[in-house]
């Protein structure tokens, strides 16, 4: 397994990470046994970075990971945990709570559910606009000093917030959506990360299935139906972009999904793509992306097939877009 270092102060991790959100109902029902087997298969393949959130399945995901990781050497994997997203009954999102007292409380719940004595990277899931980010990062720093956290991360914030947070404590990485269909980070955020020596863990690298061929329009129980990017006309347009990539992928001897993952990884050596595989089959399809090398000519062909800004539709519903530091 290839490795990468998250920025100048972050940990060294596998060149691809495992995103566990889909194992807790984010894209419909998942098989618990298969999810656990997938986590274990990822670790056996050399994946060391596992990403979760305390609100994924309202604690379900952390309990699932606790079972999947049981018996593993704690130093053989790194847990990245997001906190603070408030969710009411019926999975109604209700803002972010990043108050210092809440940080400590959320961390204690996560440590208990995960069955570990520390979290490797701890990050607020979104910016809490009612709390200075300096206060939130200061609370995480206190938990680092106490031995319960190793590194500070951020998620879905703008360049200014990155700078403010980094001034309180070195930030290991920013987790944010980045793919051929979502490139807003390239304007200000990515240059800021490079300047400050901060890594990036990229989620949504397959456009939530648009670039992997795993999204099929019309499935009634699919939560993606609520995202404008998957609406009828937009969805058809975005699927056509994936088809445009197929010619490049065929020439490289890889799948469109592998090409899309390789493209993200090729943008900077401090970027680690997160693969949201929830089955061993999907994991096995994704990992060969690490062997795909892209030349300048390949990158030009990919750009021609899917130009920046070519995707149609917001990546989240309008109400949720307002909580993001950058757009599409």
**Among 4, 55, 8, residue whose Cα is nearest residue 195:** 8
Which residue is catalytic, options 56, 148, 151, 316? 56
117 class by beta-carbon count within 10 Å (0-12 exposed, 13-18 middle, 19+ buried) = exposed
Query: Active site includes 27?
Result: no
Q: What is the DSSP letter of 209?
A: G
3-state secondary structure of 169: coil
**Among 155, 159, 238, 231, residue whose Cα is nearest residue 192:** 159
H or E stretch covering 171 = strand 171-177
C-alpha distances out from residue 292 to 99, 103, 175, 254, 259, Å: 43, 40, 23, 8, 7
C-alpha distances out from residue 106 to 70, 87, 91, 101, Å: 22, 14, 18, 9
3-state secondary structure of 23: helix
**Bridge partners of 175?**
155, 201
H or E stretch covering 154 = strand 149-155
Cα separation of 192 and 162, whole Å? Answer: 8
Active site residues: 56
């Amino acid at each position: 397994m290839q490795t990468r270092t998250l920025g100048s102060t972050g940990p060294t991790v596998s060149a691809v990470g495992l995103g566990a959100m889909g194992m807790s109902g984010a894209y419909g029902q998942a098989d618990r046994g298969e999810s656990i087997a997938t986590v274990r298969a990822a670790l056996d393949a050399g994946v060391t970075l596992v990403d979760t959130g305390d609100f994924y399945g309202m604690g379900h995901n952390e309990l699932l990971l606790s079972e999947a990781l049981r018996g593993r050497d704690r130093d053989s994997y790194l847990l990245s945990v997001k906190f603070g997203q408030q969710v009411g009954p019926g999975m109604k999102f209700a803002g972010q709570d990043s108050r210092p007292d809440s940080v400590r409380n959320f961390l204690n719940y996560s440590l208990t559910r995960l069955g570990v004595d520390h979290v490797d990277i701890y990050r607020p899931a979104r910016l809490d606009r009612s709390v200075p980010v300096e206060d939130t990062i200061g609370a995480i720093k206190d938990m680092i000093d106490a031995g319960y956290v190793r590194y500070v991360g951020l998620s879905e914030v703008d360049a200014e917030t990155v700078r403010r947070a980094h001034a309180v404590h070195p930030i290991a990485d920013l987790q944010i959506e980045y793919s051929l269909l979502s490139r807003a980070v390239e304007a200000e955020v990515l240059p800021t990360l490079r300047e400050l020596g901060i890594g990036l863990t990229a989620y949504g690298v397959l456009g939530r299935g648009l670039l992997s061929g795993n999204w099929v329009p019309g499935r009634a129980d699919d939560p993606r139906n609520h995202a404008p990017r998957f609406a009828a006309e937009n969805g058809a347009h975005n699927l056509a972009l994936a088809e445009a990539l197929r010619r490049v992928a065929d020439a490289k001897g890889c799948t469109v999904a592998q090409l899309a993952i390789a493209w993200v990884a090729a943008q900077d050596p401090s970027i680690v793509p997160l693969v949201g595989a929830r089955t061993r089959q999907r994991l096995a399809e994704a990992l060969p992306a690490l062997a795909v090398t892209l030349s300048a000519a390949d990158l030009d062909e990919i750009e021609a097939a899917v130009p920046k800004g070519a995707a149609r539709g917001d990546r989240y519903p309008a109400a949720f877009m307002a909580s993001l530091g950058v757009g599409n």
